[in-house]
Structure 1
Amino acid sequence: MSKSRVKKKLTKKQKVRYSIIGGILLLLLLIGAIIYKANSTNNSKKDEKDSYEILIVKEKDPLILKGIVQPKDTQYFNFDQSQGKISNISVQNGQNVKTGEVIATYQNATAEDQADEQSQSLDKFNLAVSNAQDNLNVATDKQGELETQLANARIDNDKASIEASKQALSAQKDVVNQAQQALDSANLDLSNASKSIERAQKRVTTTVTAPSDGIVYINEKGKVDPTVAYATLVSPETVVNGTVSEYDFKKVKKDQEVDIKSISDDKKIKGKVTNVNQLPETSGQAGADANKSSVSNYSFTVQPEENMQYGTNVQISIKSTTLEIPKSAVLKEEDGNYVFLYKDGKAKKQAVTVSEAGNIDVVNKGLNAKDVIIVKPDKEIKDGKEVKVADNK
C-alpha cells in the first residue's frame, strides 16, 4: 500500500501573519529606493552648485551694409544752346581719352553772321583812322611853319610879327591837340571793333575737351536734348557708394577697413572708408503725417583695393570690435566693476569698464576677445581659487 503525500493547508492566522511581513518588506524596499534617489539628487545638485557656467568673450557680429560700385569721378556734358549746334562728336562710345582731347565741336551760325557783319564795318574804322592821321599830319606841318615864322620874326626883331606869330602858333597847337584826340578816338574804335570781331569769331567754333583721363560714353540723343548728356566721362578708378541708417551711423568711420563682397559672384576685396557724409540723404518731410516716421540714411564711400565692374551690387562688411557680456557676469563693487576670468582651472578677478546697452554690458576696457569668463559668479568664488566649470563654452 503506497503512502500518499498530504499538503498541509495554512491557517487563516498564518495567512494574516505572512501578509503583514510581506507588506513590511515592500515598505522597506520603497523607503530605501526613495532614500537612494534623494541622495543621488542631492549629490547631483551639489555637483551642479560646485560647477560654474563659462563664456568665451567674442566680438559682435560684423555690420553688413549694401553698396554699389560706381566711377570715382564722373563728368557729364550736356548740350549748351548758347554755344550753337553740335557739329561733330570726335570720340567713339567707350573710347579711352586723355586730358585735353577734343570730345565735341559746336558751330554757332549767329556768331558767324555777327563776325561777318563786324568784319565789313572794319573798313570804315580803318578809313577813320587814316583820315584822322592825315588831319594830324597837316596840323603838325602847319604848326612847324608857324614856329619857323616866329623864329624869323625874332631874328628881325619885328615885334608886331612876333606877337602875330605867337597867337597863330598857340591857336595851331590847339588844332594839333584836337587832331591827336581824334586820331586816338579813331584808333580806340578800331581796336574795339577788332576785339569784337575776334570774340565773335571765337564763338563761331567752340571745342569741348576732356578735363581728365577716362572712358567716354556717347548718347546721340543728347546732341539736341539738353536734359540728356551727349557725353559722359568716367574715371577708370572705381569706388563703392554705400548707405547706413541713423541707427548704425556711428559705427561707420573714416579710414575704417572693410570687406567688400560682390553679390553676383561672391568675390571678396578689401577696402577702406574714405568719406562719411554728415548730412542725411532722406529725412522726415515737413507737413508729413505726424503718425508716420522715417529713418534717415547717410551715404559713405569706400575705396576698394582693386577696381570693380561699374554697377555691381555688393555687401560691405564692417568688422565690429565691440565686446558684449551678460550683466550677470559683472560684479559691481564700491571701487569698480569686476569679472572673474577662468584660466588654468582657477578664477582670476579682473577689473573692467563697461557701459550698459539694454540687457547686456558693452566692455570698454579690461577684456579681450577669446577671454573666458564665469557667467554667474557667486560669493564662494575668490581670486585665485580653483573652480569647476560646466562644459558649456
Structure 2
Amino acid sequence: MKKKNLLWGIIIGVIVIISGVFLINYLKNKDLEEVVVDEDPYGIEYYNVPPMDQIFVNGVVTPEESQEFYREESLGVRGDLQVENGQVVKEGTLLYSYTNEVLQKEISQLYNEAARLETDRANTAYKQQLAIDRWYESSEEERGQTLDEITMDFNLYALDSQIQEIYSNIATMEEKVYTEVTAPFEGKVVIPEEKKAEAPLLKLISENFYVSGTINEKDLEKVKVDQVADITVISNGYTTLGKVSFVDTTPTNENSDPYSGASTMSSYPVKLSFNSLERIVNGYHVQATINMEENQVVIPKESIHTEGEIQYVLVNDFGSVVRRVIQTGEETDEGIAVTSGLEAEDEIIVSSQIEVNEGDLLNPEMMEMEMEMDIESVEVLEGE
C-alpha cells in the first residue's frame, strides 16, 4: 500500500512540473505577443529624392603624407625618442638622433696625431729660429747657407700642410658623428606598441586626408577634376562634402580574369579632397557620390536642420536615421534647392509626431527584436 501511494505521489509531482513549464512558456509568449510595434510608430512624413544619374566611388580615407622611420645601424647608436605617441609635430622637429661611436674613436686618434704634429712643428720652429739668429750673428764669410736655404731645411710648410689636412678630416668626420632625424612634414607621431626589430621606430602621418578610390572604365570619361562629391562614411553614415582632385588614366588591374580568362572592367584610381575634416578618421571606408545631372533637388524647408554653419537633413537609411550634410541654393515657393549632399531616392524626414534623432532605429522588425532582447534581459536578471 505504501508503494502504491508513493507511485501516485511521483506521478502527481511529474504532472505538476510539466504544467508549470507549460504555464511559464505561455506567460512568456503572452508577454512577447503584447509587444506590438506599429508600422510607423513615429508618424513620419517623408520627401523622396527623385532618381538621378550618379557615379559611386568606393575608397579609403588616406593621409596626404605618411612616412615610417626604421633603425639604421650604419649611423651608429640611436638615442632616445624626443617625441611622444600622438604628439603633433611641425616640420623640422627633432625625432631622435644617432651617435657613431666608431667615428668618435677615429676622431680622437686624429686629434692626438694633430697634437703630436703641432708639438713637432713648435720644436722645429724653435730650431729654425735659433739657426736664423746664428746666421745673423755670423759674418758673411762664416755663413754657409742663405736664409731661404735654412727655411727649406726645416720645412715648416710641410708640417703645416699635414696639420691642416688632419683638422679638415676631423671636421668632415664630426659632421657624421651625430645624425639628427627630423620631421620632414607636419603630422602626428604614431609609436608602435610592439618593439620588434623589423617594426618601424615610429610613423609620421599628416593630418590632411583625402579619399583614395577607384572607378570602373564605363565611368572614366564622365568623371572630371573639380566635380562636387558627397562623401559618406560607411561605418556610421556620416556625410560630408568634397570634390574630385585627381583622375588617373592608368588602370590598377588587368582587364581579364587570370583564372577564367573572362573579360572584366578595369579600375582607375581617383582622389577626392574634403571640404571639412570634421569626424573624418584615417582609414575610414567611404563611398562618394558624384551627381552627373545639373538639376537641383528642391526639398521642403522644414526638413533642413542647422548646426552652426552646417546644414543637414535626417534620412531613413535602411531603417536607421542618418545625417546628411548638404549645401543649399536658392529658396523658392516649393522649398529650398540642394546643390549637393543627397543621394538618389533618399527618404528625407520632413516631420514626425515623435522626435527622431540621428542613430534612431525606424525599422519595426529591428525595434521588435530590440524589445524582445530587453524582455529576455529582464527575465534573466529576475531569475538571478
TM range (shorter): 0.5 to 0.7
* Equivalent residue for 2:287, pick from 315, 328, 334: 315
Task: Work out which of the residue numbers 167, 173, 192 in structure 1 matches 2:165.
Answer: 192
SS in 2 for 1:310: coil
Choose the corresponding residue for 1:282, options 239, 253, 256. 253
Q: Is 1:112 equivalent to 2:104 in the alignment?
A: yes
Check the 8 A contact 2:57/2:289 in 1, yes or no: yes
Q: After the TM superposition, which parts of structure 1 deviate over 6 Å for at least 4 consecutive aligned residues?
A: none
> Is the CA contact (8 Å cut-off) linking 1:221 and 1:230 kept in structure 2?
no
In structure 2, distance between residues paired with 1:284 and 1:75: 32
- Kept in 1, the 8 Å contact 2:56–2:215? The answer is no
Question: Where does 1:301-380 land on structure 2 (aligned, <5 Å)?
Answer: 301-307=271-277, 308-321=280-293
Q: CA deviation at 1:313?
A: 0.7
Structure 1: which 5+ runs fail to align?
1-57, 150-160, 324-393
**Matching residue's letter, 1:93:** N
> Where do residues 1-393 of structure 1 align in structure 2 (5 Å cutoff)?
61-134=53-126, 137=129, 141=133, 149=140, 168-169=145-146, 172-177=147-152, 179=154, 182-219=155-192, 225=197, 227-283=198-254, 291=261, 293=263, 295-307=265-277, 308-321=280-293
Secondary structure of the residue aligned to 2:80 is strand
Task: State the Cα RMSD in Å.
Answer: 3.4
Bigger shift: residues 272-281 or 193-202: 193-202
Higher Cα Rg: structure 1 or 2? Answer: 1
Do 2:61 and 2:286's aligned partners in 1 also have CA atoms closer than 8 Å?
yes
Contact 1:258 1:270 in 2 (8 A): yes
The match for 1:342 is none
Structure 1 position 69, deviation (Å)? 0.8
Partners of 2:54 and 2:153 in 1: CA distance:
88
The SS at the match of 1:111 is helix
Match of 2:45 in 1: none
Write out per-residue CA displacement over residues 270-329 of structure 1, whole angstroms, 9 at most, x where no aligned residue: 1122222343333369xx679355643322221101111111111111221499xxxxxx
Tell me: CA distance 1:121–1:259, structure 2 relative to 1, closer, same or farther (3 Å): same
Cα distance change of structure 1 residues 318 and 114 upon mapping to structure 2, 3 Å threshold:
same
Name the CA distance, whole Å, in 1 between partners of 2:133 and 2:247. 80
Q: Could you tell me whether the CA contact under 8 Å between 2:216 and 2:265 is conserved in 1?
A: yes
Q: Deviations over 1:47-102 (max 9, x none)?
A: xxxxxxxxxxx996110010111212212211111112323112111112223322
Rounded Cα–Cα distance in structure 1 between residues aligned with 2:213 and 2:58: 6
Cα distance in 2 for partners of 1:68, 1:264 equals 12
CA contact (8 A) 1:75 1:233 kept: yes
The one-letter code matched in structure 2 to 1:245 is N
1:231 to 1:256, Cα distance in 2 relative to 1, 3 A: same
Q: Answer whether contact 1:132 1:186 (CA < 8 A) is retained.
A: no
Residue 103 of structure 1 aligns to a residue whose secondary structure is strand
Code of the residue aligned with 1:268 in structure 2: it is: T
CA distance in structure 2 between the partners assigned to 1:97 and 1:75 by the alignment: 14
- Please list every run of 5 or more consecutive structure 2 residues that lacks an aligned counterpart in the other structure: 1-49, 296-384
Contact conserved, 1:257 with 1:272, CA < 8 A, in 2?
yes
Structure 1 residue aligned with 2:32: none
Task: Return the alpha-carbon distance in structure 2 between the equivalents of residues 259 and 213 of structure 1.
Answer: 28
How many Å apart are 1:257 and its aligned residue? 1.8
Instruction: Give the TM-score normalised by structure 1.
Output: 0.53
Say if 1:115 and 1:200, in contact at 8 Å, map to a contact too: yes
Contact 1:220 1:230 in 2 (8 A): no
Letter in 2 for 1:187: D
- The C-alpha deviation readout for 1:183-236, integer Å capped at 9, x for no partner, is 3332232233223334444444332222232210112656x63x4321111122
CA distance change for structure 1 residues 120 and 295 in 2, over 3 Å: closer, same or farther? Answer: farther
What's the secondary structure of 1:88's corresponding residue? coil
Q: Distance between the aligned counterparts of 1:201 and 1:306, measured in 2?
A: 47
Question: Identical aligned pairs, as a percentage?
Answer: 25
